[in-house]
Amino acid sequence: MAALNEEARQAASDILFDAWTKGAVIAALPDEFRPRTREEGYAIQALLEPRFRAPLWGWKIAATSKAGQAHIGVDGPLAGRIFAERVLPDGGIVPPGVNRMAVAEVEFAFRMGRDLPPRATPYGVDEVLDAVQSLHVGIEVPDSRYLDFVTAGGPQLIADNACAHYFVCGPATDVDWRAIDLAAHPVRGVVEGRYEREGVGANALGDPRVALAWLANELSGLGITLAAGQTVTTGTCVTPLEIQPGDVVTADLGAIGRATTLFAK
């Protein structure tokens, strides 16, 4: 089938953005607008940026564990954009509304201190870490615009911004995080008064630092700069926390810090 032209990509973006803003779902993109490759998915996703006034805040990585990949039927991670209008501070309130995924995810988030522009050779982990300004605790609140996101497939999920929805960002840690083995670092997610779960940094693509390098190289391959000031959240380190309206969720990274959010009723 022929590659999607500009009009088809824009039509797909319009459908997904309309569903996002209305809290609606679709079964799938119409066949004539449906991306068949990751590249087409990213081209549709990119059309979200002009819809927001603020500069792009950062990036997320979906499906950084084998279990997460199996859950949504993909064979590798997916990158999505985080928009400033959808970022909440530590202690912020996630607005009420329809959220079919209804989970919160505990994550390591890296804020970049300098640009990593596209290039022919891959970035190494140490090279990417050298460009990092600060480390933060993050809580991602994903969602999908597909009625059955499990069977939508990678290209459609990428077009749908890799299930991005809201993101809660804690303050920069004041500990020497570069001296910590983040892969072995314990992680805890708490739904206040109901339950908690434990995990480890290695649940994010084997190491949150490796996940960050994956994102830098994924963008490089797409001709996109990972820019100074942008923040990358590197995937959940605990089994996603099922949430209900009124829940208070805390992401606890021990010495690195904590972040908390309330889900409005």
What tens digit of pLDDT does each residue of 177-231 get? 999 999 999 999 999 999 999 999 999 999 999 999 999 999 999 999 999 999 9
Q: DSSP class of residue 131?
A: T
Confidence of residue 146 (pLDDT cuts 50, 70, 90): very high
Q: With contact defined as beta carbons under 8 Å apart, do 193 and 247 qualify?
A: no
Pairing of strands 87-89, 166-172: parallel
Predicted confidence at residue 244, as pLDDT, reads 96
Query: What is the model's pTM?
Result: 0.96
**pLDDT for residue 2 is more than 80:** no
Q: Looking at this protein, which amino acid is placed at residue 161?
A: N
Copy the structure tokens of residue 167: 């993101």
> Can you say how many angstroms the Cα of residue 191 is from the centroid of all Cα atoms in its chain?
20
The residue among 165, 144, 137, 154 whose CA lies nearest residue 236 is 137
Q: What is the mean pLDDT of residues 93-98?
A: 90
Q: What CA–CA distance (Å, rounded) separates 66 from 50?
A: 33
What tens digit of pLDDT does each residue of 34-71 get? 999 999 999 999 999 999 999 999 999 999 887 788 87
Predicted confidence at residue 70, as pLDDT, reads 80
39-43, long-range: CB < 8 A, 24+ apart: 39/222, 40/3, 40/4, 40/9, 40/155, 40/159, 41/154, 41/155, 41/156, 41/157, 41/158, 41/159, 42/79, 42/158, 42/159, 42/222, 43/4, 43/9
The residue among 208, 159, 158, 160 whose CA lies nearest residue 185 is 208
Q: Looking at this protein, which amino acid is placed at residue 56?
A: L
SS3 content of the chain, % helix, strand, coil (to 5): 30, 30, 40
Predicted confidence at residue 165, as pLDDT, reads 96
